[in-house]
Chains A and B, each alone.
Chain A
Amino acid sequence: MYFAGVDIGSTMTKVVILDEVVLASVIGPTGAEHRRLANKVMEEALERANISFDELSYIVATGYGRINVPFADKQITEITCHAKGVATLFPTVRIAIDIGGQDAKGIKISNGKVIDFVMNDKCAAGTGRFLEVIADTLGLKLEEMGELSLKSKTKVKISSTCTVFAEQEVVSRIAEGVQIEDILAGLHDAIASRVYRMAEKLKIEPDVVLTGGVAKNVGVVKAMEQYVGFPILVPEEPLLTGAIGAAILGKELTLKALESGKPIERGARRLEEATFFK
């Protein structure tokens, strides 16, 4: 039996297909507001797993764009899916922190279950968006920021919380001739501090796992470690935990239904674009 998890984030769509192990995973752009390209990402994942759409026993959609996915059997919140995915990869996890393109979440996990969570989706500070805006200003690629910041010897303090004001601060520092790596180190500290202050409400204890696109930035990971005071775990592919969790939850639901002899409720299953407005 095959199971798929579809995680439609604000920026990237992630699809995972698994049976006993992960058979295929694809990460693609989400697409514009009313044309979400999750179906394209799904088609590519099916091709890589070398199975047909109808062979999927169950499909769970999650993430910010999970509503109105015409080919999903069920929608499950990203908090539940992330927790499931992280706990599967790291059974010792107590705190999962996910920093995505437009939000940040902290989840407290006990025995693989969510016991509390905090979230920011109201302000760009402390999300991937903050780094995106700054990368744009500096003319840097997002993926080079992390490594570059590690070269810094004297981190610059970024005093603004607001992304708009921080961008301005960065422009002033550049004009003053401050080294880019020192500015980047300051920015990574700023985002880590913001996320830490949010997650702190959960009482942070080891193990802490960092996921989401921002977890690919080694500068932010190191800065977060400074705040929590111990090493942080990062999955090999930090973007996929939500989709993995979604697929596993689908698998659990299916096995439970089979066990109790009940029919499995499925969606209409049209492999079309996911819309945002119905």
Chain B
Amino acid sequence: MAYFMGIDIGSVTTKAAIIRDGELIVSHVMPSGANYRIAAQRVLEEILAKAGLSLSDITYTIATGYGASSVDFAGERVTDISCCARGVHHLFPSVRTVIDIGGQASKVIRVNEEGRATNFVVSERCAAGSGRFLQIIARVLQVDMKDIGPLSLKSKNPITYTTGCAVFGESEAISRVAEGTPKEDIVAGVHNAIAAKVSNLTDRVGLEEDCALTGGGALDVGLVKRVEEKLRVHLLVPPEPQTTAAFGAALLAEERAPTLA
């Protein structure tokens, strides 16, 4: 019985997936923390325990993500762009554009019929285009991240942030709270702001349907709705959007595993 594993060490969360015969067996998500080497060891222990397997059961492992170089037990490293494209392609073969909204970066990836990335653009230099902006505003509003999406859907008058900066946005949110603006409008404003940044990215590489949304941002129904409205497309969302790249890494591990004599 051959198992293959993908490990994705992101700047905020670490993800792992184990597959057999191209199908997901088990996945795991945990915070990355400050030390990626420790994160890699911990995610390995936790996913193996979850699957009831030992490392010797895993035929081949591919590491990806920001901290990929800290995964000592991986056979090779592949970019998160390729892994994300591969994972989405397996779940939704019709997808030609993947939008990934992560904790600290947003990406748009163009994918061909074979599931290969043909073009991509990454925004990682500004917190306002990433999940980080939402986290900052959620803290101001004292709303749990998991409640942000449903709250945002209630908004009828999303506020417009005057700058594209998360730091200035935080001050604006604080003033709005003082003025008595409903929380849902403040949150929906953040969703619109992130959607606008994503739209700038899709303008640069083009947008071809079908489209998928992955990353932690895809867990937020409010964000999904605002991005759909801004881009005027329907977004396909995987059942586990955070582990898409880890799953893709596992699929690539299965394809690329050195043949054993």
Contact = CB atoms under 8 A, between A and B. Distances in A.
A162 to B, nearest CB: 5
B34 A124 contact: no
Given A102-B168, A129-B168, A172-B34, A164 B127 contact: yes
20 contacts: A34-B179, A102-B168, A122-B163, A122-B164, A122-B165, A123-B168, A124-B165, A129-B167, A129-B168, A130-B167, A133-B167, A161-B126, A162-B125, A163-B127, A163-B166, A163-B167, A164-B166, A164-B167, A165-B104, A172-B34
Contact of A161 (B125, B166, B168, B178): B125
Interface string A149-181: 000000000001111110000001001000000
B175 interface: yes
A123 B163 contact: yes
Given A32-B178, A161-B126, 4 more contacts: A122-B163, A122-B164, A162-B125, A164-B132
A123 B127 contact: no
B164 A162 contact: no
The secondary-structure label for the interface of chain B is helix
A32 B171 CA distance: 11
Nearest to B164: A122
A192 B68 CA distance: 33
A60 B63 CA distance: 62
Interface string A32-74: 1110000000000000000000000000000000000000000
B125 A33 contact: no
The secondary-structure label for the interface of chain A is loop
Interface in A178-235: none
A161 B179 CA distance: 31
B74 interface: no
Contacts of B125: 160-162, 165
B58 interface: no
A164 B127 CA distance: 6
A134 to B, nearest CB: 11
Contact of A162 (B34, B127, B163, B179): B127
A143 interface: no
B233 interface: no
Interface residues of A, number: 19
A75 B90 CA distance: 62
B34 A123 contact: no
Q: Which 4 A-B pairs have the closest CB atoms?
A: A164-B127, A124-B167, A122-B163, A123-B165
A164 B164 contact: no
Nearest to A277: B179
A33 B179 CA distance: 10
Contacts of A144: none
B126 A162 contact: yes
A33 B174 CA distance: 11
Q: Which of A32, A33, A123, A164 has the most CB of B within 10 A?
A: A164
B127 A165 contact: yes
Contacts of B166: 162-164
A272 interface: no
A121 interface: yes
B136 interface: yes
Nearest to A176: B34
A32 B174 CA distance: 11
Interface in A227-245: none
Given A164-B127, A164-B132, A165-B104, A33 B175 contact: yes
Contacts of A165: 104, 125, 127
B31 to A, nearest CB: 14
Contacts of B136: 164
A160 B168 CA distance: 17
Interface string A126-144: 0001100100000000000
A114 B127 CA distance: 34
Given A102-B168, A164-B132, A121 B127 contact: no
